[in-house]
């Protein structure tokens, strides 16, 4: 495709094959006004994106464009910017915002809904895959809850980059097609402390097979709108779980069991790479087991299971790193309560919730074996090995990502003293001078036990390196890296956004030319806003 041929560009964009099954098959809000209101007996409300002054492309993800059969020249065109900021609609687009409820920080919040997300529709690509397109920050909807429905560049950079970074890490996630400036300013009080300021407005186009959430079902049960609940569940089976048979109590249970399994898989991946979601409300949980809604997330840099990136969550730590598996189970229990009216039996739902625990335990053990380079997890020895490792990681401030990546460099030698044994790991410590002789003895004792365990498997060093480097990333979207990209972008320089996008496409590769992006958090970022803690403000 030639970049200078507007007709071909237009053809590429207009060839998107929209098949808006969601709005075609599910009950709509009869009120077409864009006014704040409670929406009853409806899955969605039709709403148009807000027109903006001067859309400008900051970045787009080439792999996501390929999923949609869009060529690079089309993504770099003015037409693309107008469409994916919400100024123009393509033929077949039928924009809407979804109605859902949810538990927020453990408390029922009632109706929530897409307050600043507007779905453009679903396309069927050339491979027959269904992809929903959603603009985040494109203006208010009936669910905006007195907010303006807009987003700022700060949070949009984070969502765009993290969606793609997580995908390339192998973590189930929604994707991001594009990040665009609106050309307008948005007022935000970043930490809700009475100091608002104007920030550049932005829109992210998110892409997923479905954006349906646990809260999508909860809202109907809470309102006793059981017919609408049944319609949504049956639609979800047809569309997102077509391998299951037609609706029946048995199939509903199979469906719930599958959600429990996929959620367990997702959480295991979060724990593997050190990701902390920060806002695991039930309205932020995908029925496809995808990571969804990148708000005040963070990466566990120094290993601290009690860390949460969310200022709102800091007092109780409900969504702290180490509590994520338990919160996911709690959220699944709320989904079980929501679909109970269709099943009418408690025991099989409880059995499915127990299945989550079994799947998570098995997945966690397999994951730990992979991170440590073991052929398989042997509970008789490896439970104690893992427990002691957690203690070792907490002795002094230890970078989780670097520690696991450097473990592969251990070389067993006879009569090795503690200092030489630990030497390959020194870069993982934020304050290596704080390693006392007692710390070194405890760390070295674990390392010697670990090396003996490795010897039992008999893997070659090359094979072990291959296995471990395939699951222990060298590059993650560290909080300070995202903030540096934001700082530059707010000054009109989008180079670091695109550089990080490229680096995070290959998180397990060495990339010697990009070593600077693998470094641990610098001291200046320890307490800086955006690098350590964030709010839900966007």
Which single residue is written with the structure tokens 């972008």?
489
Contact 460, 396 (CB under 8 A): no
Please report which helix (H) or strand (E) contains residue 204, including its range.
strand 197-208
CA distances, 127 to each of 130, 238, 290, 397 (Å): 9, 19, 21, 47
Torsional class of 146: left (φ above 0), alpha (ψ -120 to 50), beta (otherwise): left
Residue 147 CB neighbour total at 10 angstroms:
13
Q: What is the DSSP letter of 77?
A: S
Where would I find the beta strands (DSSP E) of 137-191? 151-152, 175-188
Which residues pair with residue 286 across a beta bridge? 213
The active-site residue out of 114, 283, 313, 399 is 283
Tokens at 70, concatenated: 């869009």
Q: What is the spatial distance between Cα 490 and Cα 156, in angstroms, rounded to a whole number?
A: 12
Q: What is the spatial distance between Cα 489 and Cα 496, in angstroms, rounded to a whole number?
A: 8
Q: What is the DSSP letter of 134?
A: E
What residues have CB less than 8 Å from 337, skipping those under 6 apart? 218, 221
Q: What is the spatial distance between Cα 425 and Cα 440, in angstroms, rounded to a whole number?
A: 11
Which residues pair with residue 60 across a beta bridge? 178
Burial class (CB in 10 A: 0-12, 13-18, 19+), 197: exposed
Tokens at 113, concatenated: 């809904």
Tokens at 164, concatenated: 């793609």
Contact 311, 406 (CB under 8 A): no
Q: What is the spatial distance between Cα 448 and Cα 444, in angstroms, rounded to a whole number?
A: 6
Q: What is the DSSP letter of 259?
A: H
Q: What is the spatial distance between Cα 353 and Cα 257, in angstroms, rounded to a whole number?
A: 8
Contact 108, 118 (CB under 8 A): no
Burial class (CB in 10 A: 0-12, 13-18, 19+), 306: exposed
Active site residue 283: yes
Q: What is the spatial distance between Cα 149 and Cα 165, in angstroms, rounded to a whole number?
A: 25
- The residues assigned a catalytic role are 283
């Amino acid at each position: 495709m030639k970049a200078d041929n507007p007709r071909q560009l237009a053809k590429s964009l207009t060839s998107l094959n929209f098949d808006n099954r969601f709005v075609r098959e599910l009950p709509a809000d009869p009120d077409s006004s864009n006014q704040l209101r409670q929406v009853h007996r409806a899955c969605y409300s039709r709403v148009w994106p807000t027109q903006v002054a001067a859309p400008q492309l900051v970045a787009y993800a080439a792999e996501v464009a390929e999923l949609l059969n869009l060529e690079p020249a089309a993504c770099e065109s003015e037409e693309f910017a107008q469409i994916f900021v919400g100024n123009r609609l393509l033929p077949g687009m039928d924009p809407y915002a979804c109605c859902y409820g949810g538990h927020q920080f453990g408390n029922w919040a009632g109706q929530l809904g897409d307050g600043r997300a507007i779905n453009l529709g679903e396309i069927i690509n050339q491979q027959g895959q269904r992809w929903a397109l959603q603009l985040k920050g494109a203006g208010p909807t009936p669910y905006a809850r007195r907010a303006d429905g807009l987003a700022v560049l700060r949070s949009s950079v984070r969502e765009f980059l993290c969606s793609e970074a997580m995908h390339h890490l192998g973590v189930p996630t929604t994707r991001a097609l594009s990040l665009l400036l609106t050309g307008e300013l948005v007022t935000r009080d970043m930490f809700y402390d009475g100091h608002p300021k104007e920030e550049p407005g932005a829109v992210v186009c998110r892409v997923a097979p479905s954006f349906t959430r646990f809260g999508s079902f909860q809202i109907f049960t809470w309102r006793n709108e059981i017919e609408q609940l049944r319609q949504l569940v049956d639609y979800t089976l047809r569309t997102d779980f077509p391998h299951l048979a037609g609706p029946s109590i048995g199939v509903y249970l199979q469906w719930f069991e599958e959600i429990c399994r996929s959620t367990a898989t997702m959480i295991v991946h979060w724990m593997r790479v050190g990701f902390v979601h920060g806002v695991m409300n039930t309205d932020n949980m995908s029925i496809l087991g995808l990571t969804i809604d990148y708000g005040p997330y963070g990466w566990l840099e120094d290993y601290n299971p009690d860390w949460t990136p969310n200022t709102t969550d800091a007092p109780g730590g409900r969504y702290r790193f180490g509590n994520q598996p338990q919160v996911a189970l709690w959220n699944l229990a709320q989904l079980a309560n929501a679909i109970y009216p269709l099943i009418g039996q408690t025991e099989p739902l409880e059995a499915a919730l127990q299945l989550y625990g079994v799947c998570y335990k098995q997945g966690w053990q397999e994951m730990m074996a992979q991170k440590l380079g073991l052929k398989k997890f042997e509970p008789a020895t490896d439970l104690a090995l893992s427990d002691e490792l957690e203690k070792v990681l907490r002795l002094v401030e230890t970078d989780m990502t670097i520690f696991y990546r450097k473990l592969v460099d251990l070389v067993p030698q006879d009569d090795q003293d503690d200092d030489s044994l630990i030497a390959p790991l020194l870069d993982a410590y934020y304050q290596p001078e704080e390693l006392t002789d007692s710390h070194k003895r405890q760390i070295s004792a674990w390392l010697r036990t670990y090396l003996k365990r490795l010897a039992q498997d008999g893997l070659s060093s090359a094979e072990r390196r291959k296995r471990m480097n395939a699951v222990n990333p060298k590059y993650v979207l560290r909080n300070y890296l995202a903030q540096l990209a934001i700082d530059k972008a707010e000054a009109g320089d989008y180079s670091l956004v695109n550089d990080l996008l490229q680096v995070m496409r290959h998180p397990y590769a060495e990339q010697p030319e990009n070593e600077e992006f693998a470094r641990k958090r610098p001291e200046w970022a320890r307490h800086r806003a955006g690098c350590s803690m964030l709010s839900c403000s966007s």
